[in-house]
Structure 1
Amino acid sequence: MSPEGLHAEDTAPISRIVAEVAAAFPGERISLGEMAEAFGDRAFGMLLLLLLLPGLLPGMASVFGTPLLILGVQMGLGLTVPKLPGILARQTIKRSDLLRLASASSKGLGRIERYVKPRPGFFTSPLGERIIGWLTAYVAIMLILPGPGTNGPPAFGNIVMALGLIEHDSRVTGWGVALTVLGCVFATAVLGVLGWLGVKALGWMI
């Protein structure tokens, strides 16, 4: 099946779309640029989802933080299709890892996916998508900065936000925005406390 054929599967569960994209590219590795082309008008949402899911794993978040930051800024600036820099477009993921990711997402996100359906509203508007972009950029910063327990909460909210974005569901996207804001507040507070303790410790040493 060609990548173009995936565009017609607009009602397919997200995990199934991910699996079909992996099947569309028979090579051992798939580049982010190829996936962006395969996802079509869902490219932003699907790339966010693919970059955020590994971010829930310990030690993996910072690896995906930079491309997530770039995508978030592009959305925030109003781009409707991602423009990946060459160095990022050439970055690849193992096809086997992508298939495992699809399987894991179908188990972990299946319940949420059942509630996702096209529902126009504020968060499906250009302004709403810009807000999603800037929130995603902030989440990316939280993923890049080291901190105990600061990756999961904002990443989970951003995953829900991405699910709503993919299916053009303003309600689910709104839930994701709320969860993302709460997660970012928590992560920012933890990093703030760690920074304050670091400054105090440095003062004691001096």
Structure 2
Amino acid sequence: MDIRPPTSSVLRCILNEAHGEHMTLASMLEALGDRSFGVVMLLLGLLALVPSLSIVTGVLLMWPAFQMIMARRAPSLPRWISQRPLLTARLTRLVDRVVPVLVWMERMVRPRWRTPFESTKRVVGAVIVLLALTMLGPVPFSHVLPALVIVLIAFAYLEEDGALLTIALGAALLSLAITVATVWGTILGIEAID
């Protein structure tokens, strides 16, 4: 049985092996391999927690989520984003800030209850699309729960933790149910006024 290295180690390894002062997002995603979708979702999920960015991030999350549903190997980004040179030193500083948090989380999250990767990818993509749609509403702070659930799903997906992924998908159902109840209550309230 293959031992899956933690994401924190993979990120450090990619930056340690980077040649030159610049690297592109496309080369970094290529090096991440099957983890690339998880990293993109994790970063966008964290950005979605910022109130002023939640709607834009909700739209951006749908792009890789649809690609997951189509079982693409890695997210394909527009060329002007994917080929833009990024300073390796700046990426290293960013990863140095993120890695301690990942290491702390990796103590609790580990590969268990493995699932078929391709079918899991499609299910996760579909759930992310639905959660991203719920972040587009104008209700203040309604983006927080879906964003937190997306972060949880992304981390479970990254580390192939089927147990955590099951919990995260349950939390996604709860988040979607709350959104449906809120919308339904609003519709009933508007009809009662008329």
Please state which band the TM-score falls in when normalised by the shorter chain: 0.7 to 0.9
CA separation of 1:96 and 1:184: change in aligned 2, threshold 3 A = farther
AA in 2 matched with 1:43: S
Q: Percent identity?
A: 23
Per-residue deviation, residues 78-130 of structure 1 (Å, max 9, x unmatched): 223222233553578898588558636744x66542122222433x4422221
CA separation of 1:12 and 1:67: change in aligned 2, threshold 3 A = same
Is 1:145 aligned to 2:133, yes or no? no
Whether the aligned pair in 1 keeps the contact of 2:36 and 2:75 (CA below 8 Å) is yes
SS at match of 1:144: coil
2:77 to 84, 87, 90: 84
Moved beyond 6 Å, runs of 4+: 91-95
SS at match of 1:53: helix
Tell me the residue number matched to 1:135: 127
Whether the aligned pair in 2 keeps the contact of 1:155 and 1:180 (CA below 8 Å) is no
Is 1:12 aligned to 2:10, yes or no? no
Is 1:46 aligned to 2:39, yes or no? yes
Q: How big is the shift at 1:185?
A: 2.2
Tell me the residue number matched to 1:5: none
Q: When the two structures are superposed, what TM-score results if normalisation uses the length of structure 2?
A: 0.74
Tell me the residue number matched to 1:55: 48
2:179 to 163, 183, 187: 187
Q: How big is the shift at 1:49?
A: 0.8
Give the distance between the partners of 1:144 and 1:93, measured in 2 at CA: 30
AA in 2 matched with 1:113: E
Of the two structures, which has the highest relative contact order with CA contacts closer than 8 Å and spacing of 6 or more? 2
Structure 1 unaligned segments of length 5 or more: list them.
1-8
Give the distance between the partners of 1:74 and 1:41, measured in 2 at CA: 13
CA separation of 1:13 and 1:83: change in aligned 2, threshold 3 A = closer
Tell me the residue number matched to 1:6: none
CA separation of 1:113 and 1:181: change in aligned 2, threshold 3 A = farther
Whether the aligned pair in 1 keeps the contact of 2:30 and 2:74 (CA below 8 Å) is no
CA separation of 1:105 and 1:36: change in aligned 2, threshold 3 A = same
Q: When the two structures are superposed, what TM-score results if normalisation uses the length of structure 1?
A: 0.70
